[in-house]
Structure 1
Amino acid sequence: MSTITIFTDGSALGNPGPGGYGVVLLAGHHRKELSQGFRRTTNNRMELMAVCVALEALRFEGSEAVIYSDSRYVVDAVTKGWVFGWEKKGFAGKKNPDLWMRFLRAYRRHRVRFVWVKGHAQTAENNRCDSLAVAAANDSAHLIEDTGYTATADL
């Protein structure tokens, strides 16, 4: 099985405000793009949501994936091991526990490596994800509720 290359990005207009995520999955000659917009959310939630959705889209258990993200929030939390400490403490005092728990469920099903990329730079697929995320956030006819954000109010 070949390595799946994943690019992710999130956006929020107003932060909090309307938001969206964009994902590009690449495997061999296959390409899949995913995006969704939300009525009210935050940028960090959308960055993390993009990663969750990308990992959940992988069809085979134990897939090897490399995720490219411009979110220090997400990349550092995983590569520096912070999220695992947060989990041990029940995510006490941490933002977005619903998405971090969702992430860990999907993350543990695969072999995942994270790579941080500079946002709005020369990385074509990261720029494509940004375009998908912003377009989704601006698509007022198709925005859905980010129930995790609503439940946590303006944390």
Structure 2
Amino acid sequence: MENNSGIVVYTDGGCRGNPGCGGWGCVIIDGEKEYKFSGGEKLTTNNRMELMAAISALNSIAENTLWKNQHISVYSDSQYVKNGITSWIQNWKKNGWKTSAKKPVLNKDLWVQLDSVYNLLDIEWKWVKGHAGVKYNEICDELCNMEMDKQG
């Protein structure tokens, strides 16, 4: 983790079965303080949970007057989320929420939410390898599993 001024966020989402019961987790780090959030759904997909983790973290930041104007570094192990929000989404919007293959964009409802909060904040997206011993990514994974356990 880089220790620059600003907020650091780690996110992760997962699913048992795809679709299946899912969970997401995120950690927001403000200096020495850590804030953990998580949630889950009975029937969902891995990609939806990855998106929910990012949306939930960024909504929490946008609602916090001390955080919302700071630089935010978001670490995700999901190339889908990172590439979707930083590059693919512009063409999806331009093409009426269709992919380059002219098919409807999956999870459009969540992409719209993520795009909305993304445009309010100063965010730098970074990819981190999952299940590689990265402390906060592992914590997010534990939060996901805890939520999946709750879903049964």
TM range (shorter): 0.7 to 0.9
Taking structure 2 as the reference length, the TM-score comes to: 0.87
CA contact (8 A) 1:37 1:138 kept: no
Q: Give the equivalent residue in structure 2 for 1:101.
A: 112
Q: Pick from 23, 29, 34 the counterpart of residue 31 of structure 1.
A: 34
1:64-105 deviation digits (Å, cap 9, x = unpaired): 2100000010112233x1111112223131100000000011
Aligned mates of 2:151, 2:57 — CA distance in 1: 23
Instruction: State yes or no: 1:89 paired with 2:92.
Output: no
Taking structure 1 as the reference length, the TM-score comes to: 0.85
SS of the residue aligned with 1:122? coil
Q: Give the equivalent residue in structure 1 for 2:131.
A: 120
> CA offset at residue 20 of structure 1?
0.7
Q: Pick from 49, 66, 74 the counterpart of residue 73 of structure 2.
A: 66
Identity %: 39
CA contact (8 A) 1:9 1:70 kept: yes
Q: Give the equivalent residue in structure 1 for 2:57.
A: 54
SS of the residue aligned with 1:5? strand
1:93-121 deviation digits (Å, cap 9, x = unpaired): 11000000000111011000111000000
Aligned mates of 1:112, 1:133 — CA distance in 2: 23
Q: Give the equivalent residue in structure 2 for 1:5.
A: 8
Give unpaired runs (5+ residues) of structure 1: 142-155
Instruction: State yes or no: 1:16 paired with 2:37.
Output: no
The residue type equivalent to 2:48 in the other structure is R
Which consecutive aligned stretches of 4+ in structure 1 deviate over 2 angstroms post-superposition?
60-63
CA contact (8 A) 1:22 1:35 kept: yes
The residue type equivalent to 2:17 in the other structure is G
> CA offset at residue 63 of structure 1?
3.0
1:3-50 deviation digits (Å, cap 9, x = unpaired): 100000001110100001000000112210000010100000100110
Aligned mates of 1:129, 1:71 — CA distance in 2: 12
- Once the two structures are overlaid, the 10-residue window that deviates more, 85-94 or 96-105, is 85-94
Give unpaired runs (5+ residues) of structure 2: 99-103
